[in-house]
């Protein structure tokens, strides 16, 4: 049975699990291999069943577990070439042996799942989001994943348009960030066009996607210091007030959070 579960979310680490009828993949592996294995066992599976890992970008909150997973499980890891080069400095790294490097815009098929990348504006060597598609009944099921996005541009909307479910960054409440404890430079980085997406900007994006037919959203990559889950959820609900049947979940930092497909 197909499933969509965020295992870990936020600056302490990100990892999402997607399963079609026959194939299981991860998007990002930003916590330890051990933590991912234990979370997967909670949902009834294991790294042994994962056919591939697709990485959004090289930042440690998306890549922390990759080297040990490569050593122990040899799961193919798909990432863009600029991001892989920024991540891997050691030519003996086990990750080299399992790495599948791609141009920034690419498409790859693993089992019955097709994964296509799109550019996410963020201060990494190359940050991408993913559109994941697989057959379900007579139709093609479509899932979008876009975390670590500084701002929303038309290419990003085009890439996510018409997905059934979408994981979207809802990083911070702007007033909490502005009045919070972060140093000025870090606040500027987060608010910049290549930083992270605010609750308000997430609301605007999910409103557009709701019009395209998306019926469930997972709010993800919430800042622990500059956001509260109920604040993010309320902003999203307000943005979707014309769509009372759309489901919203808020991804917990380290507890599996599922959106039912
Ligand atoms: Zn990042
Ligand atoms: Zn991140």
Quick: pLDDT tens for 133-144. 999 999 999 999
Ligand nearest the Cα atom of residue 127: 1
Taking the C-alpha atoms of residue 240 and residue 245, their distance in angstroms, rounded to an integer, is: 9
pLDDT of residue 68: 97
The answer to whether 134 and 113 have CB atoms below 8 angstroms apart is: yes
Quick: pLDDT tens for 219-261. 999 999 999 999 999 999 999 999 999 999 999 999 999 999 9
Q: Under CATH, which architecture does the 3-259 domain have? A: 4-Layer Sandwich (3.60)
Give me the chain's average pLDDT, please. 97
pLDDT above 90 (res 128): yes
The proportion of the chain whose per-residue pLDDT surpasses 70, expressed as a percent, equals: 100
pLDDT of residue 152: 95
Query: Which residues face 79 on adjacent strands?
Result: 101
pLDDT of residue 56: 98
Instruction: Give residue 220 CA to ligand 2 midpoint distance, Å.
Output: 10
Question: Is 34 buried (19+), middle (13-18) or exposed (0-12) by CB count in 10 A?
Answer: exposed
Tokens standing for residue 184: 């000025």
Instruction: Give residue 157 CA to ligand 1 midpoint distance, Å.
Output: 19
Instruction: Give residue 53 CA to ligand 2 midpoint distance, Å.
Output: 16
Quick: pLDDT tens for 54-73. 999 999 999 999 999 999 99
Instruction: Give residue 139 CA to ligand 2 midpoint distance, Å.
Output: 32
Instruction: Give residue 164 CA to ligand 1 midpoint distance, Å.
Output: 25
Ligand nearest the Cα atom of residue 189: 1
Ligand nearest the Cα atom of residue 121: 1
Name the strand (E) or helix (H) holding 110.
strand 107-110
Confidence band (pLDDT; 50, 70, 90) for 148? very high
Instruction: Give residue 62 CA to ligand 2 midpoint distance, Å.
Output: 6
Could you tell me the pTM of the whole model? 0.97
Enumerate the H helices of the chain as residue ranges. 33-42, 60-63, 66-73, 81-87, 95-98, 154-160, 174-179, 184-191, 199-211, 229-239
Instruction: Give residue 160 CA to ligand 1 midpoint distance, Å.
Output: 19
Instruction: Give residue 190 CA to ligand 1 midpoint distance, Å.
Output: 10
The arithmetic mean of pLDDT across residues 208-221, rounded, is 98
User: Between the CA atoms of 200, 245, 249 and 2, what dihedral angle is there, to the nearest 10 degrees?
Assistant: -130
Q: Which of 250, 165, 170 is nearest to 214 (CA)?
A: 165
Tokens standing for residue 142: 């479509």
Ligand nearest the Cα atom of residue 128: 1
């Amino acid at each position: 049975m197909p499933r969509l579960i965020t295992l870990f979310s936020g600056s302490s680490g990100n990892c999402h699990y997607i399963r079609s009828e026959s194939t299981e993949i991860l998007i990002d592996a930003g916590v330890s291999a051990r933590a991912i294995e234990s979370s997967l066992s909670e949902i009834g599976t294991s790294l042994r069943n994962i056919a591939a890992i697709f990485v959004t970008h090289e930042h440690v909150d998306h890549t922390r577990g990759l080297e040990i997973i490569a050593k122990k499980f040899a799961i193919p890891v798909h990432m863009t070439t600029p991001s892989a080069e920024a991540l891997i400095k050691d030519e003996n790294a086990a990750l080299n042996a399992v790495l599948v490097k791609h141009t920034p815009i690419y498409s790859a098929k693993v089992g019955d799942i097709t994964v296509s990348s799109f550019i996410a504006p963020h201060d990494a060597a190359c940050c991408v989001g993913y559109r994941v598609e697989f057959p379900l009944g007579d139709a093609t099921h479509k899932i979008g994943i876009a975390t670590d996005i500084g701002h929303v541009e038309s290419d990003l909307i085009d890439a996510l348009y018409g997905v059934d479910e979408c994981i979207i960054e809802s990083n911070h409440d702007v007033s909490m960030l502005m009045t919070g404890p972060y140093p000025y430079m870090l606040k500027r980085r987060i608010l910049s066009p290549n930083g992270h997406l605010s609750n308000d900007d997430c609301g605007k994006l999910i409103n557009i996607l709701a019009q395209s037919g998306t019926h469930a959203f997972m709010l993800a990559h919430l800042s622990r210091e500059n956001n509260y889950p109920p604040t993010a959820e309320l902003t999203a609900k307000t943005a979707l007030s014309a769509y009372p049947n759309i489901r919203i979940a808020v991804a917990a930092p380290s507890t599996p959070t599922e959106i039912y497909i």
